[in-house]
Chains A and B, each alone.
Chain A
Amino acid sequence: MSDQRFELKVNGRISPVNVDPTTPLLYVLRDELELDGPHFGCGLAQCGACTVQLDGVAVRSCVIPVSAVGTQEVTTIEGLAVEGKMSALQTALVEAQAPQCGYCMPGITMSASALLKETPHPTDAQIRQALDGNLCRCGSHTRVLRAVKAAAGSPT
């Protein structure tokens, strides 16, 4: 298909791009806007490495065509910081020294942040449920669970 112009709202800024409308949002974020936080893991909605938020809801950016984004606000991990400071959730993940390779972490963080917006005080089961579509191969799970618990109730 030929290129079309889209005005994406990403991390609070309007970002115009000219791309094939079938292009998944993930490639637009990474290649056009040079946002490295959303990671490519599968392109199949199976792993969560590419998770971003659309209007605060966690979605898999690898399977959402850019043409479907419309006026929804896109938030990537780069957009979680408040006035240059990491969010409480990110800080909790650093304090838990959660990542090993960390490749899954931006996606996990975006899923957890969406959960905490919706459910500020989730139970363990709710956290596990919300993160079940995010895979981590290094085995950071128990630290992530602890950190999300610790960040519960704080603004994310």
Chain B
Amino acid sequence: MSGAATSLGRRDFLAGASALIVAIGTTREAAIGERPSETSPFGTATYANADSWLALDANGNVTVSWGKVEQGTGIETAIAQIVADELDVPFDSVRVLQGDTDRTPDQGYTAGSQSLSAGAIPVRRAAAFVRVTLIQIAAQRLNVSADTLTTRDGAVVSKAGPQVHLRYAELVPSGRVNRIVPDDVVLKPVSAYQVVRKSIPRVDIPAKLDGSYRYVQNVRIPGMMHARMVHPQRLGQVARAIDGASLGDLRSRVRVVHKNAFVAVVAQREWDAVQAAKLLKVTWAGGAPLPAENQLDAVLRASAGRDDVVLNKGNVSSASGKTLRATYHWPFQSHGSIGPSCGLADVRETSVTIWSGTEGSFFLKRSIAALLGRSPDQVVVRWVEGSGAYGHNGADDAAAAAAIVSQEIGKPVRMQWMRYDETAWDPKGPAMLFDLEAVLDADGRIGAWSFHGRSPTHVGRPNGTAATLLAGRLTGLGPPTPFFVGGDRNAATNYDIPKQHIVLTNLTSSPLRPSSLRGLGGTANTFANESFVDELAHAAGADPIAFRMRHLSDPRAQAVLEAVRPAYAAGRGVAFVRYENVNAYVAAVVDLDVDRSSGAIALRHVWIAHDCGLVVNPNGLRNQIEGNVIQGSSRALRERVRFAPAGVTSVDWMTYPILRFSEVPEIDVTLVDRPDQPIMGAGEATTTVMAPAIANAVFAQTGARLRDVPFTPDAVKAALLR
């Protein structure tokens, strides 16, 4: 390590495009340092945009700069746990800065449950490197070999005895030192971890219970105005006439901002803006009608798209045996955030500041720059946690709308979407449909499996263009070029089947604006696959757990199924997934009651076995899994975006109901901890098994097969009569 004490100028730093840099300095500010300007090329995430991942100051405080963000998943706590262990500092001395484009590295989106698995690696490496650097500094100062030293609880100590005890704070060099983390930095073995694997209470929770937590909805900027949207009925319309007189008395206190189909009202008082948005009469014109709801299947079948072969092995048409076919449908679904999205913007002549609960600050920054016609380095996005989003909800769009209004009126603006805006206008988890066919051979094994899914894209997030923002569409831009992502997630199963043909048709258009909702295509694909496996198990006369295990050679897959076996009994439903085919393993058993006269399903008990490798925070993980069970059940039982040719008709909690306190099941979670295995994400996996486990339980109890989500009482009654 000698000679590694390179102090880097900004230019040197920028030249090393993938450098991972740690800073050690006398103050937090000095350590964090000045930010280099944005250099990442459009559309890619680079780890090089901030010059410090981790900073240690003269008080021994550690600041982690984390480009991803808390989404109610406990990520902030988990990251602090990892750093505390890797750097050997008390958990309390670690602070995590998140998501601000001028203070954190660009790590792309907080998405796909990758925050802990992929996202933590640079932070871990940075912490490990600071630790060895401190040992090195101490060794030089004491003129001893670094081999004789180790670290404990924020201090460098001698391995042999109590001779040496130098607190990190005493070792921090004066001024500021930047070092590049070498590729060969050695991480601690997990067996040496003390803080990781413990259920450390989450740092964000107390403030969430005393009313002091700062959600983006609570941000106040001096002089800010309150804005509300007046959305059209559907995309493609324009506001042909706006009747200012419809505002009555409010007219003198409310300003209308209008461009094409973008109509917003803005006032000093929030209540004035709320009322004005309700009262303002706008004549909407143009825009192709949406299809009728009962035409959705036909629309998905008729839409143009690109056929992607996900897997093709063996010749499926050469298999012989008993053939089964089934078609499954998944509806458009909303994120259902409890707090409608809110964004703030302060657009000035040479600077733009945005406050948003976005999951992708850096992409939002570039998209808003494009929307306003500004250079990206004029734009700063400050990330502030919003209501849970579970993907790409309205957060980015509300912020962009705030920016347009602020630019227009020259004052800071708080844009708060109303319930109608969020439920009707959040980008939707796309509808999908599946045609499956399989052949059971004479031994009761699956000999061949064909899957043909059809799906709009699952990623319509801001990508640096204005067309990915709703405000861009409303002000006149056409739909963005679709970028096909997520539809193929878990299209293939993990079952050992000799002949398989898995095709996903990525549709180029969608009746509703599609984007990411928890699990992406994995949720719907797993519903289809795990329901169909169940149909095959039944056709083979086999126990559904044994049937699955017969087709799984991976011992970790077998282990989660074994773990739920004690909960399995006749009349209960089972499902299994290996999320994204390479991540967390989940098995579920569901017990429920079906009211045959009303068709209502009452969930009684859900058992989950879950293996996501090394568990960083067991209680935090359980909380995530329980949340997935409830949200996944809600999506299966209740949720479908309703629409008519004129527009979306799901506009509130009556027209888009979700599961309530009286309806949630008891939940038992078994964590299969694998400390020797890499960390895998847990934010989404369990969602994907809920719909199939419920449908399979209904079948086990009634013989009625539910192939279309949601399983409303009417749908269940119809299935019982078939």
Contact = CB atoms under 8 A, between A and B. Distances in A.
Contact of B620 (A40, A78, A97): A97
A135 B659 CA distance: 8
Contacts of B629: 139
Contact of B631 (A42, A86, A103, A138): A138
Contacts of A30: 218, 270
A131 interface: yes
A153 to B, nearest CB: 19
Contacts of B660: 132, 135
Contacts of A77: 209-211
Q: Which of B204, B212, B653, B658 has the most CB of A within 10 A?
A: B653
A64 interface: no
Contacts of A103: 215, 337-339, 386-388
B627 interface: yes
Q: Classify chain A: how many residues form its interface, as a range.
A: 35 or more
A35 interface: yes
Interface stretch (B19-27, B521-529, B564-572, B662-670): B662-670
Given A40-B217, A137-B388, A142 B72 contact: no
A40 B416 contact: yes
B428 to A, nearest CB: 15
B661 A128 contact: yes
A128 B602 CA distance: 14
B274 interface: yes
Contacts of A109: 209
A137 to B, nearest CB: 5
Contacts of A102: 72, 204-205, 208-209, 213
A22 B270 CA distance: 12
A144 B623 CA distance: 11
A9 interface: no
B206 interface: yes
Given A94-B209, A102-B205, A135-B660, A42 B653 contact: yes
A131 B205 contact: no
Q: Classify chain B: how many residues form its interface, as a range.
A: 35 or more
A154 to B, nearest CB: 15
B587 to A, nearest CB: 19
A140 B387 CA distance: 13
Interface string A89-121: 010011001111111111001000000000000
B630 interface: yes
A34 B219 CA distance: 10
B654 interface: yes
B72 A143 contact: no
Interface in B239-254: 249
A120 B660 CA distance: 23
B628 interface: yes
Nearest to A90: B209
A20 interface: yes
Nearest to B71: A101
Nearest to A22: B271
Nearest to A110: B211
A36 B218 contact: yes
B629 to A, nearest CB: 7
Contacts of B269: 19-20, 23, 31
B358 interface: no
A137 B340 contact: no
A97 B214 contact: no
B661 A78 contact: no
Given A42-B652, A97-B619, A100-B623, A86 B209 contact: yes
A59 interface: no
A96 B627 CA distance: 14
A8 interface: no
Interface in B220-275: 220, 249, 269-272, 274
Interface of B: 71-74, 199, 201-202, 204-206, 208-215, 217-218, 220, 249, 269-272, 274, 335-340, 385-388, 390, 416, 418-419, 619-620, 623-624, 626-631, 634, 652-654, 658, 660-662, 664, 666-667
7 contacts: A30-B218, A36-B213, A44-B653, A81-B210, A90-B210, A97-B202, A141-B661
Interface of A: 1, 19-20, 22-24, 27, 30-31, 34-44, 46-47, 49, 76-78, 80-81, 86, 90, 93-94, 97-106, 109, 127-129, 131-132, 134-145
Given A39-B217, A99-B72, A145-B661, 16 more contacts: A20-B269, A20-B272, A31-B270, A40-B340, A40-B416, A43-B274, A46-B654, A47-B338, A78-B211, A97-B202, A100-B388, A101-B208, A127-B661, A132-B660, A135-B660, A139-B629
